[in-house]
Every structure is written in structure tokens, then in C-alpha cells.
Amino acid sequence: MRKLNPLPGDRVERIQLGISLLLQLAIFGLIVGSLLRQQWSIAFTGTVVLTLTFVPAIIERQLKVRLPVEFTLVTCVFLYASFGLGEVRYFYHRFWWWDLMLHSFSALVMGLIGFLLIYVFYMTNRIRLAPVYVAMASFGFAVTVGTLWEVFEFLMDWFFGFNMQKSGLDDTMTDLLVNIVGAVLAALIGYTYVKGGDSLIADRITRHFVAKNPHLFSRKKMRD
């Protein structure tokens, strides 16, 4: 079994946290602006999006772990790019590839988050799974999150008259297929890493996670 060496702290973390905070403030600014213009639907959606930026913090609190700061940054980037740029600044209409890019990127990231959460239990002997099942769990997590986002888009279009689904069923199915591709890639990265192969992405994430959560990876808990 692979031995994990903690990764020392990095000044880049403070920059990433600063960027995340700026993006959250930018979303908050869009909410305030929409309220002043009496654009109630945009204000409501922005409030939901702003709340979603705190999901990594909620996960940390519920699971009593500390996630790599990259997850907070990526979450804020995706939500601002989707709402602030995609909807408010009309990037979805100006760039045909904007929606596909966001879904591909988010699926990969969600798959890696799913892998990390499962990997914690795997490495601390709380569950015993073959590497292929760790990969399948990562895949399922990413696809589930992507599907829930499509439901969110549908509800926004249905209740507030947005156009998040663009061409309707075609857009939804294309997004789901792109989500699956990204989820498969994340699952392959996770599978390769658990099997002992080299993976720059997974290695960096897990090393950061170990450094932040030494109590989870004590010798008594680690798998031989």
C-alpha cells in the first residue's frame, strides 16, 4: 500500500483563499445589484449560488475533516463562471462551448472529491474495497452531483423563466454525457492512484489532505 507523506504548507493557499473570497464577494455584489434593479429571480438564484459556495465548509464541519483549499477555490470558480458569467454576463449565449467546458471541468473535480472522501475511509480501514469499487464510487458521486445540477437548472427555468437549459432536452442530455466523460476520467485517475500508479493530480490532492488531517492517518489507523 502506498505511503503518504504530508505536503508542507504553501503560501499559495492564502492566495487561493483570497481569490475564493473575492469570487464570493462578486456573487454577493451581483445579488445586491439585482435587488436594486428589482430583478428578484436573479437575486434569488444568486443567493442559492452563494450558499453553494460554502458546501466545502459544510462538508468539513459534518465530516470533521479539512479539505484542500483547491476544492473551495474550484467550487467558487465554477459557480461564479456558471452564474456570474454564464447567466448574468450572457457567456452561455456568447460562447457556445462555455456550458460544455464548465460541465466537463466540474465533473472531473466532483469525481476527485468523491474519490478523496472514499479514499479516507479506505486508508483508515473503515471500509474494505477493491480499487475498482473506489473508482466506481468516485464516478457515482460525480454523476450524481452533475445530475442534481441539471435538476437545479430545470427548476430555475421552470419557476423563474431562465434559459439555463438552452435547447431543453438536447442541452440536458449533452451536459449529462459530458458529466459522464469527466466522471470516468476522475475514476480512472483514482483507480490508478489506489493501484499504486503515478498520478500528479491525485497525489497532490491526497498529500494536501494528509497534511491537513494527520489525526485521520495515524499509524494505528493506516492500512499496512
Alpha-carbon gap, residue 201 to 192, rounded angstroms: 11
| Closest listed residue to residue 146, CA positions, set 105, 87, 115, 204 | 105
Q: What average pLDDT does the structure give for the chain?
A: 80
24: CB partners within 8 A, 6+ apart: 50, 53, 76
Lowest-confidence region among 1-15, 25-39, 90-104, 142-156? 1-15
92: CB partners within 8 A, 6+ apart: 86, 98, 99, 163, 164, 166
Contact between 106 and 182 under an 8 Å Cβ cutoff? The reply is yes
- Which amino acid is it at 88? V
- Write out pLDDT tens, residues 70-86: 788 888 998 999 889 98
The pTM (predicted TM-score) of the whole model is 0.75
What is the domain partition of the chain in residue ranges?
12-217
| Closest listed residue to residue 123, CA positions, set 11, 56, 213 | 213
Whether the predicted pLDDT of 57 surpasses 90: no
Burial of residue 209 (number of CB atoms within 10 Å: 0-12, 13-18, 19+): buried
Neighbours of 179 (CB within 10 A): 25
Q: What are phi and psi of 36, to 5 degrees?
A: -65, -30
Alpha-carbon gap, residue 20 to 70, rounded angstroms: 9
Q: How many CA atoms lie within 13 A of 135 on its CB side?
A: 16
Alpha-carbon gap, residue 198 to 13, rounded angstroms: 24
C-alpha cell at 200: 500528479
| Closest listed residue to residue 3, CA positions, set 198, 188, 209, 224 | 224
C-alpha cell at 71: 476544492
- Write out pLDDT tens, residues 109-156: 878 877 877 777 776 666 677 888 888 888 888 888 888 888 887 887
Is 64 in a helix, a strand, or coil? coil
C-alpha cell at 163: 434559459
Lowest-confidence region among 48-62, 118-132, 140-154, 178-192? 118-132
